[in-house]
Structure 1
Amino acid sequence: MEPTNKEALSFEEMEVHEKAAFDDVIRPKDCYAADGTYWADLPLSQRISFCLEQDRTEASKEFSWLWTEFKKDPLSPVAHYFRNFVLPGAGLGLEGYVLFSIGNNTALFDASFKDCWKGKTCDKNWVSAISYMEVVGIIVGQILVGYLGDAIGRRWGLIQDAAIMFVGLLMLVAAWGLTENGWVICYAWSLFFYSIGVGGEYPMTATIGMENGYGSGKLVTSQDRLHRGRSVVGAFMMQGWGQFANQAILIILLLIFHHGTGALPISTTATQWTYRVSFAIPAVGTAWLVYYRTYHMKAASNQLEATKKKASVTGYDTESLKLTFRHFTPRVIATAGGWFANDVFFYGNKLFQGKFIKVISPASGNDVTTNWLWNLANIGVSLAGYYFATWFVDTKLYGRKWMQIVGFLMCFILFVIPAFKFEYYQEPAHIHSFQAMYFLSSFFNQFGPNCITFLVAAECFPTPIRGTAHGISAAAGKVGALIIAIIGSYTTTQQQFYIVPWFGLAGVLVTWLFLPDTTGLDLREQERRWRFIREGREQDYHGPAVHSKHLSVWERWTGKGKHYDANLDYKMKVEEFRAEWEAAVAARGEEQTLYDMDDVDENILHGSMHNYFERTSPEIRGMRKEVEPVSLPAAAAYSEDQKTLGEQ
């Protein structure tokens, strides 16, 4: 091997336009100030100004684009919304429709099959098992499909989920028995099977929403940094629209099959038609989802496959799982613990509803649709929370972590107030305050932990085990839902109000201590850090992923951020680009394909970066170069030394 020409590799020979090209990639303007300072390193006042200016600029761009598209075609923005949010979240929309229907159907069954639901003609254990088997099925799906999605690929996980949900819906529509108890047993097992598919939707939708926004190469786009959270939360929001659609359709169907009213008594025939048709409708959409994922999502596993190929891994990456628990256990505690606390609130929210409806609408016990209409209003408030979360989740001054902390804190306050003034807020004179707290708790649950737990459970972990980590976190949430359901069976509403609020404080503590803030952090940068960890060189990584802004309090205490060095990271990235360029050029010369398309961005093979590497590198084929550290120049566009560089 020929000796390395160290003078040829010096940054002193970098032309101004070459330095500018590297700055555009390594120090993008949406993350770095004019002088090359990372936004989180700026003094507080400058940081606020930088973030606000960036938000204004981005909002202006998007509104300008929206208006331009609208003038071309008024339906173009609608088509954009459909492609970017409705299609990616279609599975969650369908499962939100069906699962929300289970609770609504229970009220309908209780009104039409009183003897069965009160345990006279049916086994009480099986009646109770309906809700339990739903939750258990979801937990099984979350863990199982999360694992399979990492082992066999995202695409097959997505197809499998849709197929299971489709078959499960057919089973729910056709559920029958020789006796009422036999029908309940068949209904419960059908729901369990369907729920396995539902559980799998959580890790699969989150990971595909995350990974579709970027490739695995090092040249990045602002889309990932500025809008990754919006892409994932926007897809998750379809769950809320599914719930809204279900409630509206159930009301319409009951009015159709029950002579235009929801008043009791309701015949068993009207109930059977209502619930079976309500399940048949999403079955059509789910059949389409199987087709769409089979024939139009063939690239869904590309990112995972590229990552595995780099690490020379086939099948499930067990080593990455071990390393994740070794290095990221606090993050697992944050995502699983936060989701657990959130689901206690999500299902505990129903504690409010029955109380204020009885006071505001005394005749509600004689009309099923009264409760359903209040449900519809609550879902509308929740949807507002979803949209607020979508708009603010990528805002650097607020972002994921603060949104979750504030959401948990507001839920705690809104539950603890009526807990200690329970009788007071049930009085007719104060019931509207009780009602307001109910709606506000729904809003802040969505504009807070419910959306953020879904996002960060995928975002905080590396690609090879992202599905598994998300599945474990989501399953912990369902355990919380199961526990609050069991507690509810043995306690009064007043006692439940004493219990639930403290999970909000626990959520605040877990989030503050263990959850890192990934707002504004490029996902590829996290993957780059993971590569160093996997190679046993964690201490050699010096990039933004170990900046104190993007680490949890616990990680800071344990010294994870001590290796952060922006200048050293810049030099390392240049040499990493050089190594990729040399390998790609050598492979082209030998007509070999050493990298997938996503692995090497074509931009480093053309333009100023290519010219720099070509000019400063000696013969590259068959060579492996060792590069000594070199001095780092300031950011190109704004450096005082730029003139000197130009003169040279």
Structure 2
Amino acid sequence: MDYDRVTQIRAKAFAHLDEAQFGWFHLRAILVSGVGFYTDSYDNFVINLALPMLYHVYFPKSPDLQYPSDFPQRNPNYDAWMKAATSYGNLFGQLSFGYLGDKLGRKNMYGVELMIMIVCTIGSAFSASAIRGANILQTLAVWRFFLGIGIGGDYPLSAIITSEFANVKWRGTMIAAVFAMQGIGILTGGLVTLATLAALQNSIRSDPAYLDLVWRIILAFGVIPAMGAVYFRLTIPETPRYTVDVIGSVDQAERDVEKVMALNATRDVSSNWVGEEVANGTRANVKKGGFWAHFGQWKNGKILFGCAFTWFALDVAWYGLSLNASTILTLINWNGSNSLPPYDNYWQKTVGQVIIACMGTVPGYWVCVALIDRMGRKPIQYLGFAVITVCLLILAIAWDTIKNNTVAFCVVFTIAQFFFQFGPNTTTFVVPGEVFPTRFRSTAHGMSAAMGKLGAIIGVEAVGPFFSMNPKAVLYVFTVVMALGGVATYFIPETMGKTLEALSGEDDAFESQETIL
């Protein structure tokens, strides 16, 4: 084998990707990955709007259904388990799809997770109690768990595919733009709920049992964007970096890069990939295995620790707050009174969540998209953790006063939501897609994301049930965890302006391995 030629072809192919102008293929990659993430976030967070209506109908406080159910107050652990069911699936999906993305290839797994989501979204919307055995909550929880597997699988695959096709200049922006669709998904959940409530207003006012139809519609809506993205995901090409560094086909990667460059210049984001996907040719020597040997070295292990722990810390508070938004709005008396008619009660709470999304959540994502390749990942993450820590500390210290001042609470809470997105919620997704070697990149991203979902489970299931009973204690816990996340940011490198190979040391490893052989 002519190793000099292999090195030259590999370096040339990657240089074309790294130095390419932002073009139509890049835009297509963002849209294909972003639509999936839009669906992920919609499905993940709409449960916060759906569950109160389900409880209202199936576990009523009064036979006439005129008052919101007190089921969450009577069964806080059950409520938390329902909200965390998807996170359990996320954890499993992130680990399994992360590993399979490295083992079988990015392309071979991409689209599978969306098909899982489509089936399980439909199943969730048609959940019902059995005559004997599982009740509707248990049935829904099972569907939500498997839905979570599909959602979890999307995290490493979307991040890695976007990262490995991106150029250096816009890589952070591209990955962050994919993740920013999470904010649009959260906002859409509120808007779909408002539209469904408005469409069924007269029916709900005359018979609150029509809320059963509302929560089913808002869950089922998640299938629409997922179906629209399946074809494009199944036809996306394998990344040239995986083709070289894992499969070992250098000539194939060179041809693939040429096709990517051609599609990038085609003013059509729907242009399809054509040509032979697998071909014989010059083969690179591929380094196999060695995951634990690689990360057993502190210089590499500390990066995996930093990515995993910061994501864990973030999700403890992020999911703990986001999936308990209805509880928070009730605690600050946003809905006025639980004595409001059912329609007005749910309309008011949904409007509150839409306002929070518009004021803090969605803008935070897109400000991060605009600045991540100018400020860098670490400064944004440090800033985000610091501001969130201060905001949560203010809420904890002043809770007895601020809970009765809706405007003051919304200002502080909105600032915190803004810096969640213009901060660690975005950067913890971006950095793991950049810092690991190609052969471990999907696995390590999946592990980092899974640690995040472990944090989400703790935030929702272990801490969340105490929100109604002792919100100050919960806020103090979240404050400490956010501060620890800021400290752990020290262990991740700054990735702005660097190639993936420079960050992972793959160029040096590739050349030294060829020298030995």
**Other-structure match for 2:431:** 456
- Higher relative contact order, chain-length normalized (CA < 8 Å, sep 6+): 2
Q: How does 1:446-525 map to 2 (within 5 A)?
A: 446-485=421-460, 486-490=462-466, 492-512=470-490, 514-525=491-502
- Using the alignment, how far apart are the partners of 1:239 and 1:453 within structure 2? 14
Given the alignment, which residue of 141, 148, 156 partners 1:188? 141
- Using the alignment, how far apart are the partners of 1:127 and 1:388 within structure 2? 34
Q: Report the alpha carbon displacement of residue 99 of structure 1 after superposing the two structures with TM.
A: 1.4
Moved more, 274-283 or 238-247: 274-283
- Using the alignment, how far apart are the partners of 2:47 and 2:35 within structure 1? 19
- Using the alignment, how far apart are the partners of 1:353 and 1:436 within structure 2? 17
Identity, in percent, stands at 24
Helix, strand or coil: the match of 1:518? Answer: coil
Q: Letter of the aligned partner of 1:96 in structure 2?
A: S
Q: 1:535 to 1:196 in 2, by over 3 A?
A: same
Report whether the alignment pairs 1:526 with 2:503: yes
- Using the alignment, how far apart are the partners of 2:412 and 2:29 within structure 1? 33
Q: How does 1:129-528 map to 2 (within 5 A)?
A: 129-179=81-131, 181-213=134-166, 224-259=167-202, 267-268=208-209, 270-294=210-234, 296-297=235-236, 299-310=237-248, 312-313=285-286, 317-326=288-297, 327-350=299-322, 354-355=327-328, 358-363=332-337, 366=340, 367-380=345-358, 381-395=360-374, 398-428=375-405, 431-485=406-460, 486-490=462-466, 492-512=470-490, 514-526=491-503
Q: Report the alpha carbon displacement of residue 198 of structure 1 after superposing the two structures with TM.
A: 0.4
- Using the alignment, how far apart are the partners of 1:475 and 1:336 within structure 2? 8
**Other-structure match for 2:54:** 109
- Using the alignment, how far apart are the partners of 2:119 and 2:56 within structure 1? 28
Count of residue correspondences: 446
Q: Letter of the aligned partner of 1:162 in structure 2?
A: L
TM-score of the superposed pair, with normalisation by structure 1: 0.63
Contact 1:356 1:426 in 2 (8 A): no
Contact 1:90 1:238 in 2 (8 A): yes
Q: Report the alpha carbon displacement of residue 424 of structure 1 after superposing the two structures with TM.
A: 2.2
- Using the alignment, how far apart are the partners of 1:84 and 1:456 within structure 2? 18
Helix, strand or coil: the match of 1:500? Answer: helix
Q: 1:278 to 1:143 in 2, by over 3 A?
A: same
- Using the alignment, how far apart are the partners of 2:233 and 2:411 within structure 1? 41
Q: 1:361 to 1:392 in 2, by over 3 A?
A: same
Contact 1:112 1:266 in 2 (8 A): no
Contact 1:405 1:508 in 2 (8 A): yes
Q: 1:352 to 1:286 in 2, by over 3 A?
A: closer
Q: Deviation digits for residues 368-425 of structure 1, max 9, x if unmatched? A: 1111111111112211001110011001xx2100000000000001110121122122
Q: 1:321 to 1:211 in 2, by over 3 A?
A: farther
Q: Which runs of 4+ in 1 moved over 6 A?
A: 79-82, 122-125, 534-537
Q: Report the alpha carbon displacement of residue 80 of structure 1 after superposing the two structures with TM.
A: 9.1
Q: Letter of the aligned partner of 2:368 in structure 1?
A: A
Q: 1:517 to 1:260 in 2, by over 3 A?
A: farther
Contact 2:84 2:457 in 1 (8 A): yes
Contact 1:340 1:479 in 2 (8 A): yes
Contact 1:253 1:274 in 2 (8 A): yes
Q: Deviation digits for residues 40-80 of structure 1, max 9, x if unmatched? A: xxxxxxxxxxxxxxxxxxxxx99xxxxxxxxxxxxxx9x99
Q: Report the alpha carbon displacement of residue 163 of structure 1 after superposing the two structures with TM.
A: 1.4
Contact 1:457 1:469 in 2 (8 A): yes
Runs of at least 5 residues in structure 2 that lack an aligned partner in the other structure: 1-11, 62-68, 249-283
Contact 1:352 1:435 in 2 (8 A): no
- Using the alignment, how far apart are the partners of 2:418 and 2:171 within structure 1? 22
Q: 1:400 to 1:427 in 2, by over 3 A?
A: same
- Using the alignment, how far apart are the partners of 1:123 and 1:419 within structure 2? 25
Q: Letter of the aligned partner of 1:287 in structure 2?
A: M
- Using the alignment, how far apart are the partners of 1:384 and 1:80 within structure 2? 26
Q: Letter of the aligned partner of 1:319 in structure 2?
A: G
Q: Letter of the aligned partner of 1:322 in structure 2?
A: A
- Using the alignment, how far apart are the partners of 1:364 and 1:465 within structure 2? 51
- Using the alignment, how far apart are the partners of 2:211 and 2:124 within structure 1? 14
Q: 1:382 to 1:157 in 2, by over 3 A?
A: same
Q: 1:536 to 1:503 in 2, by over 3 A?
A: farther
Q: Report the alpha carbon displacement of residue 478 of structure 1 after superposing the two structures with TM.
A: 1.1
- Using the alignment, how far apart are the partners of 1:280 and 1:385 within structure 2? 27
Structure of larger gyration radius? 1
Q: 1:128 to 1:363 in 2, by over 3 A?
A: closer
- Using the alignment, how far apart are the partners of 2:325 and 2:115 within structure 1? 36
- Using the alignment, how far apart are the partners of 2:338 and 2:496 within structure 1? 45
Q: 1:189 to 1:467 in 2, by over 3 A?
A: same
- Using the alignment, how far apart are the partners of 1:502 and 1:105 within structure 2? 31
Report whether the alignment pairs 1:95 with 2:72: no
- Using the alignment, how far apart are the partners of 1:177 and 1:360 within structure 2? 33
Helix, strand or coil: the match of 1:521? Answer: coil
Contact 2:76 2:465 in 1 (8 A): no
Q: Report the alpha carbon displacement of residue 440 of structure 1 after superposing the two structures with TM.
A: 0.5
Q: Letter of the aligned partner of 2:336 in structure 1?
A: P
Q: Report the alpha carbon displacement of residue 352 of structure 1 after superposing the two structures with TM.
A: 7.6
Q: Report the alpha carbon displacement of residue 242 of structure 1 after superposing the two structures with TM.
A: 1.3
Q: Letter of the aligned partner of 2:171 in structure 1?
A: R
- Using the alignment, how far apart are the partners of 1:134 and 1:92 within structure 2? 15
Helix, strand or coil: the match of 2:168? Answer: helix
- Using the alignment, how far apart are the partners of 1:382 and 1:154 within structure 2? 30
Q: Report the alpha carbon displacement of residue 489 of structure 1 after superposing the two structures with TM.
A: 2.0
Q: Letter of the aligned partner of 2:470 in structure 1?
A: T
Q: Report the alpha carbon displacement of residue 173 of structure 1 after superposing the two structures with TM.
A: 2.5
Q: Letter of the aligned partner of 1:349 in structure 2?
A: L
Q: 1:407 to 1:374 in 2, by over 3 A?
A: same
Q: Deviation digits for residues 594-621 of structure 1, max 9, x if unmatched? A: xxxxxxxxxxxxxxxxxxxxxxxxxxxx
**Other-structure match for 2:272:** none
Q: Report the alpha carbon displacement of residue 436 of structure 1 after superposing the two structures with TM.
A: 0.2
Q: Report the alpha carbon displacement of residue 535 of structure 1 after superposing the two structures with TM.
A: 7.0
Helix, strand or coil: the match of 2:476? Answer: helix
Helix, strand or coil: the match of 2:486? Answer: helix
Contact 1:335 1:515 in 2 (8 A): yes
Contact 1:320 1:534 in 2 (8 A): no
Q: 1:227 to 1:124 in 2, by over 3 A?
A: closer
Q: Deviation digits for residues 250-299 of structure 1, max 9, x if unmatched? A: 111122223277x7x8633x2232222223333233233222222x31x1
